[in-house]
């Protein structure tokens, strides 16, 4: 009897194992089929922004200009009719500094994946001026006293440049160097009054000279592309216009005015898509 019961239990155990295996064989594929649908998927990779620097652009700028105008002249003599007056050599420095604003336009094109060539022209307007006044007393060759009053002024108005540009591109950033030809309009003026005391005489003179100068310019800057059309800029330029002759004193005499300028500008440009 005990043997029959053990045999029956063994048979039941084998049936239970077989049933378990059968159920597992059906359930595991079903779970495997459901598993991919329930697992979280990876987020899509964001597209890398593309920056196209090629194209024509037009914009405006504003900034500040530091100018250095050095005036030099040789000593000379003048006879107002009462005796010869000797005037010493002059060496004076003028700084017609001031704010500027204007427009720029140009074209860029990529010559390599990271390198850019361009050409730009700009026009800046300003109204910087500096003046010097002097009162001098002395004795002429005849021993008579005199008083000289003199007022001189340098005024710098508009400037313009035509420049090439070479830049290195790194995404939305552009670092560039620039150089070319520069133009400037400068005005020189001077007025003088010479009074002799014995005999009493008054001699006056007034001179003006308006010059449009040509020189050279070098500089550099950095730009940032906010979106495909709008570009911001910070720029520095150095300009040298050499020396030119201006009238002064009595006679008239001529002296040399040597002019250089430095500019720092902020700019915004709109780039047209090519």
| Percentage above 90 pLDDT, the chain | 69
The token pair that represents 208 in the structure block: 């003006």
- Computed over every residue of the chain, the mean pLDDT equals 85
pLDDT-derived band of residue 144, with 50, 70 and 90 as boundaries? confident
Domains by residue range for the chain, with CATH: 55-271 (2.40.160.20)
Q: pLDDT tens digits, residue range 232-246?
A: 999 999 999 999 999
E runs forming strands in 74-199 = 76-78, 85-87, 90-94, 98-112, 115-126, 128-139, 145-170, 173-197
CA distance 209 to 154: 10
Q: pLDDT tens digits, residue range 50-96?
A: 789 999 999 999 999 999 999 999 999 988 877 788 899 999 999 99
CA distance 94 to 188: 11
* The residue to which tokens 């064989």 are assigned: 25
């Amino acid at each position: 009897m005990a043997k029959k019961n053990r045999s029956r239990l063994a048979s039941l155990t084998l049936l239970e194992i077989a049933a378990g295996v059968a159920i597992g064989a059906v359930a595991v594929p079903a779970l495997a089929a459901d598993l991919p649908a329930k697992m979280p998927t990876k987020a899509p990779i964001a597209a890398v922004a593309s920056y196209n620097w090629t194209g024509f652009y037009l914009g405006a700028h504003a900034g500040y200009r530091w100018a250095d105008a050095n005036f030099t002249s040789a000593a000379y003599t003048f006879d107002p009719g009462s005796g010869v007056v000797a005037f010493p050599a002059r060496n004076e420095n003028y700084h017609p500094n001031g704010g500027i604003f204007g427009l720029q336009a140009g074209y860029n094109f990529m010559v390599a994946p990271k390198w850019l060539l361009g050409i730009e022209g700009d026009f800046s307007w300003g109204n910087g001026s500096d003046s010097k006044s002097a009162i001098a007393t002395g004795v002429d060759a005849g021993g008579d006293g005199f008083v000289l009053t003199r007022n001189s002024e340098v005024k710098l108005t508009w400037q313009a440049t035509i420049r090439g540009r070479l830049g290195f591109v790194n995404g939305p950033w552009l670092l560039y160097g620039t150089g070319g030809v520069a133009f400037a309009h400068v005005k020189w003026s001077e007025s003088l009054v010479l009074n002799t005391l014995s005999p009493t005489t008054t001699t006056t003179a007034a001179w003006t000279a308006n010059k449009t100068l040509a020189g050279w310019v070098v500089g550099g800057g950095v730009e940032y592309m906010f979106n495909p059309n709008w570009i911001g800029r910070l720029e520095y330029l150095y300009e040298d216009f050499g020396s030119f002759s201006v009238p002064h004193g009595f006679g008239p005499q001529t002296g040399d005015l040597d002019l250089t300028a430095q500019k720092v500008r902020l700019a915004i440009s709109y780039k047209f898509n090519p």
